[in-house]
Amino acid sequence: MSAGALRVLIPSEQIQQRVRALGEQIDADYPEGPVYMISILKGSFIFLADLARVLKRHSVRIEFMGISSYGQEKTSSGQVKVTRDLDTNIEGHDVLIVEDIIDSGFTLNYLTRLLAQRKPKSLEIVTLLDKPERRVQPVHVKYTGFQIPDEFVVGYGLDYAEDYRNLKDICVLSE
Ligand code: IMP
Ligand code: MG
């Protein structure tokens, strides 16, 4: 059990509807060849699972990468490190980074520079959530599920100190 009050910000049905629309866009934008979907652990695992299943294509590769910049806190330390690297070569492939949320931008600014060095054919980002007000470092995002205000959210994969990831809705967590 965890302390904290939860308020639904984006209900499950609305998330599913938006995920379907993102899937249609992605299917249309990558007419051929495999798309390498790189899920950034752990927060994007539910989004990845839903997004991958709405795609009509079967040429989808699912990869995982671990990045940490937070520890147990609610704000980014700005210190990004790879805790689990890819075990596949992305050179010459269409790569789509699948992220749960963009906040300061430290994580994805670092990650896109790192993956670009590996010479993918294309490199884009799909994020479920974006808090544009919080941006410190620039990030070019091709697909965004929802822009949200500067509030700390949990659920649908997102955690606070590893709790709440299993909520179906995206909720604001307040003390
Ligand atoms: P950034 O490097 O500050 O953009 O942070 C991105 C990462 O911080 C995300 O992948 C999340 O893991 C975490 N994060 C940022 N905002 C929230 C939030 O509101 N709830 C839960 N996790 C968050
Ligand atoms: Mg994350």
The verdict on residue 22 lying in a domain is no
pLDDT at 71 exceeding the cut of 80: no
Atom in ligand 1 nearest the alpha carbon of residue 100: 10
Domain harbouring 103, CATH code: 3.40.50.2020
The verdict on residue 14 lying in a domain is no
Q: Which of 162, 129, 108 is nearest to 18 (CA)?
A: 129
Number of domains into which the chain is organized: 1
Is 85 catalytic? The answer is no
Residue 172: beta bridge partners? 7, 153
Structure confidence by residue, pLDDT tens digits, 105-134: 999 999 999 999 999 999 999 999 999 999
Structure confidence by residue, pLDDT tens digits, 74-116: 666 678 899 999 999 999 999 999 999 999 999 999 999 999 9
Contact 159, 165 (CB under 8 A): yes
The verdict on residue 57 lying in a domain is yes
Q: Which domain holds residue 139?
A: 30-151
Q: How far apart are the first and last CA of the chain?
A: 14
Q: What is the DSSP letter of 20?
A: H
> What is Dmax (Cα atoms) for the chain?
47
The verdict on residue 138 lying in a domain is yes
Atom in ligand 1 nearest the alpha carbon of residue 159: 21
Q: Whose CA is nearest to atom 15 of ligand 1?
A: 103
Catalytic residue among 103, 130, 159, 169: 103
Q: Whose CA is nearest to atom 19 of ligand 1?
A: 152
The verdict on residue 24 lying in a domain is no
pTM of the full structure: 0.94
